Amino acid sequence: MVFNPVVATLLDSKRRTSARDMKAAIVNEFGKSLSVEDVPAPEPAPGQVLVKIEACGVCETDLHSVDGDWAIKPPLPFIPGHEGVGIVTALGRGVKAVKEGDCVGVPWLTTACGQCRDCIQGLEALCVHQKNTGYSVNGGFAEYVVADPNFVIRIPDSVDFPVAAPILCGGVKAYCGLKGTRARRGETVVVIGTDSLGQLALQYARAMGMYVIAVDAAGTGLRAARTAGAELAINAAGIDPVIELQKIGGADAVIATVASPESLSQGVEMLRPRGIMNIVGLPMNCKTSQMFKTDVQNKTIRGSITGNRIDLQEALEFAADGKVKPNFTTDSLKNINRIFDQIRAGTSVGYTVLQIA
């Protein structure tokens, strides 16, 4: 099991959790620096588990939550972080789905109602009653977090915590985005954007047997894409990717990790008839003047917010098999404000995973 040497220590100390403080990064005001401070550690209520967080990825969604960018804002104050990975150290009354000592991930989807039409169809990410880690409930930028045992994800034994963390969001988004295009082995997939999310999409596409083309305007990202297995890398700063794709008959699928108006418009143009583009990057306002081709050629544009629990477990299995590995660096919780400043400035390289323990 991952990090076995610490499991016994964590379990021995679990009874002291309710009597001690924990270190956490708190958002007290939108758009302001987080306060890293000692706060009371949570206790699991009936039907909940307590997870000692060992590592937590830093996602662009965290930045949007910290800055209060979206119409539905988190309640202040709150603890961000929805890529937390750690060890179950205590069980609330009635919990049977997991046991103490299990290595689990606490993803964006904290819980869902389980009864609505979407939940019944395995689309719990669309449940209107869902709660979200690090947004509507406190998240993993802390030493402990409480979670729904039915929604935590078991981490495969062969996957280290820092590797698993980015897969809880970016990995499953990329994987589900590819599944949503219905592209099959041997078909052509274009990945627009070669940042951290794009690199994961590229790796999943290669692992699923697809012919992958990377498109970006940044030379450094394209070099990384070739290293990760892209068959063709197109520098959009000097070459029109639409013309290049038209030369080979277009793409069966496009994964847009960059959702600018220009990239989405190009994505549609790069598709062959009946192709599907899936938007997995956070979208901006997009012009629709050229989207008529989605009608006349029966093309489809889809969105992919995240996947269900089965999707997430499948995404982790690719990492367990060594076919997917996020590009990440590790850092400490005390540096969270500097990390967010780098994301805002566009100077961050790869994912950052906080070493919480």
In degrees, rounded to 5, the angle at the alpha carbon of residue 250 between the alpha carbons of residues 246 and 254 is 130
> Residue 139 sits in which domain range?
4-158+322-355
pLDDT at 19 over 60: no
Residue 180: both structure tokens together: 């949503």
314 within a domain of the structure (yes/no) = no
Positive or negative, the CA dihedral 51, 53, 54, 56 is positive
Note whether residue 315 is domain-resident.
Answer: no
Q: How are beta strands 49-58 and 84-91 bridged, if at all? A: antiparallel
Statement to judge: residues 268 and 245 lie in one domain: yes
pLDDT level of residue 299 (50, 70, 90 thresholds): low
> pLDDT at position 233, please?
95
165 in any annotated domain: no
Residue 190 lies in a domain: yes
Same domain, 145 and 29: yes
pLDDT of residue 286: 43
- 51 with 129, same domain: the answer is yes
Q: How confident is the model at residue 293 (pLDDT cuts 50, 70, 90)?
A: low
Domain count, the chain: 2
Domain presence at residue 61: yes
11 and 121 in a single domain? The answer is yes
The residue ranking higher by pLDDT, 301 or 125, is 125
Least confident of 16-30, 180-194, 201-215, 318-332: 16-30
Q: Note the pTM of the prediction, 2 decimals.
A: 0.85
284 pLDDT above the threshold of 70: no
pLDDT grade for 283, boundaries at 50, 70 and 90: low
Q: Are 147 and 49 in contact (CB under 8 A)?
A: yes
Considering the domain architecture, whether residues 141 and 177 belong to the same structural domain is answered as no
Beta partners for 212? Answer: 189
Residue 189 domain flag: yes
Is 100 found in the same domain as 126? yes
Question: Where a domain ends, among 260, 276, 303?
Answer: 303
Interatomic CA distance for residues 344 and 69, integer angstroms: 13
Instruction: Give a yes or no: residue 311 inside a domain.
Output: no
Residue 22 and residue 107 share a domain: yes
The rounded mean pLDDT for the chain is: 89
Name the percent of the chain lying above pLDDT 70.
Answer: 90
Looking at residue 2, its pLDDT comes to 41
E-strand spans in the chain? 21-26, 35-40, 49-58, 84-91, 103-106, 109-111, 131-132, 144-147, 153-154, 188-192, 211-216, 232-235, 251-256, 271-279, 300-303, 328-331, 351-355
Whether 312 maps to a domain, the answer reads no
- Is the Cβ–Cβ distance between 130 and 21 less than 8 Å? no
CATH code (residue 116): 3.90.180.10
Are residues 141 and 177 part of one domain? no
Q: Residue 208 sits in a domain of what CATH number? A: 3.40.50.720
Q: Are residues 120 and 186 in the same domain?
A: no
190 and 137, same domain (yes or no) = no
Q: What is the pLDDT of residues 70-121, one digit of tens each?
A: 888 999 999 999 999 999 999 999 999 999 999 999 999 999 999 999 999 9
- Do 108 and 39 sit in the same domain of this protein? yes
Judge if 187 and 233 occupy the same domain.
yes
pLDDT band at 4 (very low <50, low <70, confident <90, very high): very low
Q: Give the model's pLDDT for residue 270.
A: 96
With residue 313 as reference, give the H or E element that holds it.
helix 309-320
